[in-house]
Amino acid sequence: MSQDIEKYRTWVRQGQHRRSAGIFFMAKGIIEELGEEKGKELIIEQVYEMGNSFGTDRKNALQKQGLDNNVKRFFDPSSQTDTVIAFAWKGETVSQSEEHIVKEFTYCPIAEGFKNYGKDGVKIGELFCEHIDNAVAQAYNSDIECIRESSLNLDGLCRLHFKLKD
């Protein structure tokens, strides 16, 4: 891989680390101010609001192209409004059909960014990661859900199962 590509990948990853830092410090302050239970509730609510924005952007990009927002197109680069995932994350599709996609990630700069803040960072990162992908999927298409089957920072592998709801 060329040095330029690696340089740009490093820049993108550092930007995602800063995203994690922003989320970490805001979430930490919310928990300190409201307490654990109420703080987590508010953080989850805001993660859904953020994810819904991303999912709506993706859905709208497809609509502008006259395409359906189905499961198979969820990771189609032509429908992405944020193609950075394919560039800065390490992952692969391990299973795909018309009804589901299973992605496994062995590297995520957002998870790494949370990990940089120790146990508290991982704890807040888990709160974020547990909800963000489902929030994006729900806004993209309300018939789709994302089940997070494993965690990168806790299990060494992030496994996300996007599927039609039962």
In which order are the strands placed within the sheet that holds 144-150?
Answer: 90-96, 100-107, 158-164, 144-150
**Rounded (10°) angle between helices 3-34 and 36-64:** 140
Per-residue pLDDT of the chain (166 residues; tens, 9 = 90+): 577 888 999 999 999 999 999 999 999 999 999 999 999 999 999 999 999 999 999 899 889 989 888 998 887 765 555 566 777 889 999 999 989 999 999 999 999 999 999 999 999 999 999 999 999 999 999 999 999 999 999 999 999 999 999 8
Tokens representing 95?
A: 């299973």
Please state, in angstroms and rounded to a whole number, the distance separating the CA atoms of residues 80 and 61: 7
Domain that holds residue 50: 3-164
Q: Quick one: pLDDT at residue 73? A: 84
- Measuring CA to CA, which residue among 58, 65, 23 is closest to residue 44? 23
Q: Quick one: pLDDT at residue 166? A: 86
Domain count of the fold of the chain: 1
What burial letters (b/e) apply to 137-163, b meaning 16+ CB within 10 Å? bbbbbeebbbebeebbbeeeebbbbbb
Q: Quick one: pLDDT at residue 72? A: 84
Please state, in angstroms and rounded to a whole number, the distance separating the CA atoms of residues 50 and 164: 22
Q: Quick one: pLDDT at residue 78? A: 56
The rounded Cα 164 to chain-centroid distance in angstroms is 18
Contacts of 19 (CB under 8 A, 6+ apart): 110, 113
Q: Quick one: pLDDT at residue 74? A: 83
User: Hey, how many other C-beta atoms are within 10 angstroms of the C-beta on 91?
Assistant: 19
Place of tokens 């993209």: 140
Residue type, 117: Y
Q: Quick one: pLDDT at residue 5? A: 86
Q: What is the CATH number of the domain that holds 81?
A: 3.30.1380
| pLDDT digit string, tens, across residues 28-68 | 999 999 999 999 999 999 999 999 999 999 899 889 989 88
